[in-house]
Amino acid sequence: QVQLVESGGGLVQSGGSLRFSCTASGTISRINAMGWYRQAPGKQRESVAFSSTGEITNYADCVKGRFTISRDYAKNTVYLQMNSLAPEDTGVYYCNAAIIDWNFVARGFRDYWGQGTQVTVSS
């Protein structure tokens, strides 16, 4: 069984910073991309930042220059440093990873999700 456990998040004033972490554990054979989605109230879930193997990173245009994603491959952990937060960054943030479970190698990479963490940025 594979799990993603998030930590971080919370309430911060506009202009402040927060840091997330997400650790994958369990019967992991391989991990490809790890990253973050978010869902604001009344809106669809959107991709925020992703890190693929080979140190390739992708950011949503609205967070470029403010958010930084990084990975610790030895710890199966991905981090998201969020600076200059604004009220429009408010939402539930979900960790996502493409993982091969060694119990089901033939299935290939499958998407796994963290439990979701609330971020509230006050103006």
Mean pLDDT of 67-96: 96
pLDDT, one tens digit per residue, over 22-35 is 999 999 999 999 99
Sheet holding 67-72, edge to edge: 2-8, 18-26, 77-82, 67-72
Average pLDDT of the chain, as a whole number:
95
18, 119 in Cβ contact below 8 A? yes
Which whole-number Å values give the CA distances from 41 to 44, 56, 67, 91, 93, in the listed order? 8, 30, 21, 7, 12
Predicted confidence band at 63 (pLDDT cuts at 50, 70, 90)?
very high
Mean of pLDDT values over 90-103 = 96
Mean pLDDT to the nearest integer, 83-106: 96
The HSE-up count of residue 2 (CA atoms within 13 Å, CB side) is: 25
Closest-CA residue to 4 (of 101, 121, 95)? 95
**Residue 9, pLDDT score:** 84
Owner of token pair 């950011």? 59
Question: For the CA atoms of 109, 75, 11, 66, what is the dihedral angle to 10 degrees?
Answer: -80
